[in-house]
Structure 1
Amino acid sequence: MVTVARRVAYGEGRDLLISTTVDVVAERGLRGLTFRAIADRAGVNNSLIAHHFGTREALLAAALEWAVEQSIESSGLLDLASEQVFADTLLDAVSRRPQLQAFQYEMILEARRNELFRAPVAKLYTRYHEVVIESLRHYGVDGDVDALARSTFAALDGLVLQYMAGVDPEELRAALVQVWTSLRPVLGTSAA
């Protein structure tokens, strides 16, 4: 059977390849990632991948940046509205698009084995750290919030990983509410 590559509108090919890469890695792991697997899933010719990215490493680095931004946008990290809203928004975002988290965790593990991915993974954590700092500043937290932001994100990261592993969502919701609640004294009355 011959598969005919679909035509992709100008300017949409790169994003299609990135989102497809995230899906393939989330489903098959990095060992299952080939240009052919991406092309087949996206319905395009695999030369489009080489055209846009050149190498597998460049494709994965671009996909990692994209996945981080998609996660931030959908997670509620920028809006600590209330304990319950924050917990619900975060868990809902992960349940709707678990492939974003699965892909990021795959890349984090790969960075331990392959130093080519250490810088992109460090960039991932830097970006999340910046977003948590921005959120804390939004609620009026002054001074050095570096350690607070890092520890807050570490708690959230761990809870999301547990969710991905199948821990009871209600237990995790309660833990997420507790993370938010523990921030309340620092955030002041604007977070109540």
Structure 2
Amino acid sequence: MADPSGRTALLRATIVVVASGGLRALTYRGVAAEAGVSHGLVRHHFGTRDQLVAEAMEFAIDESLRGSNMLEQGLTAEEFAGGIESLADRESELQSFQYELLLETRRRPELRPLAERHYRAYREAIERQLGRLGVSDPELTELIWFALDGIVFKQLVDPADPASALRLIRRLISENSARA
């Protein structure tokens, strides 16, 4: 469905601005320039900067999960781990935006609910996917969640080959799904 209001373009522009300059670089003018519209349109659609940030975070989470394989059914352990492998490459702006916002919650506690939403969405997606694979160990789920979050962050900061870590994740999932 088309986005007649242009909200999606403004949300994408917000992500680009924050991903490249941090949350402190976020202005209506910067978003408008990135989207190719007047800055009054940004204010019209979102009202406050905090509302813009909140909606951009929701958008980024949804887009990232949709772009990963975390919502797909019928995956093998190999496919699940492999979908994480290039997440930072495929969606570096979405991921960078989210990490920028997460770091900003240290300075701005009022943003904490956005961080909690972020972590809850990814943790639940991983838990559901692991459940589909027959893994029901909450501690293993937590370990895999932390490992995958760390892999994506590491790839954003200093691209590295996560192959050995992903091999271990695959093995842990396979071994634990066999026990189910």
TM-score (normalizing by structure 2) = 0.88
1:150 shift after superposition: 2.4
Structure 2 partner of 1:91: 85
For 1:12 and 1:135, the matched residues in 2 are separated by 34
| Letter of the 2:93 counterpart | Q
Alignment root-mean-square deviation, CA: 2.1
Contact 1:71 1:100 in 2 (8 A): yes
Structure 2 unmatched ranges of 5 or more: none
SS at match of 1:188: helix
For 1:93 and 1:12, the matched residues in 2 are separated by 29
- After superposition, residues 77-88 of structure 1 pair within 5 angstroms as 77-79=70-72, 80-83=75-78, 85-88=79-82
Contact 1:133 1:149 in 2 (8 A): yes
Structure 2 partner of 1:37: 30
1:81 shift after superposition: 2.7
1:130 and 2:120 matched:
no
SS at match of 1:11: coil
| Letter of the 2:151 counterpart | L
Residues 69 and 10 of structure 1: is their aligned pair in 2 closer, same or farther, counting only changes over 3 Å?
Answer: closer
Structure 2 partner of 1:57: 50
Structure 1 partner of 2:165: 175
Q: Which moved more, 1:146-155 or 1:106-115?
A: 146-155
Structure 1 unmatched ranges of 5 or more: 1-8
| Letter of the 1:178 counterpart | L
Q: Give the alignment partner of residue 139 of structure 2, picking from 142, 147, 158.
A: 147
| Letter of the 1:104 counterpart | Q
**Cα-to-partner distance string for 1:55-89 (whole Å, 9 max, x where unaligned):** 11111111111111111122222354342x44443
SS at match of 1:78: coil
1:12 shift after superposition: 4.3
Structure 2 partner of 1:71: 64
TM-score (normalizing by structure 1) = 0.83
Structure 2 partner of 1:5: none
- Structure of greater Rg: 1
How many matched pairs? Answer: 177
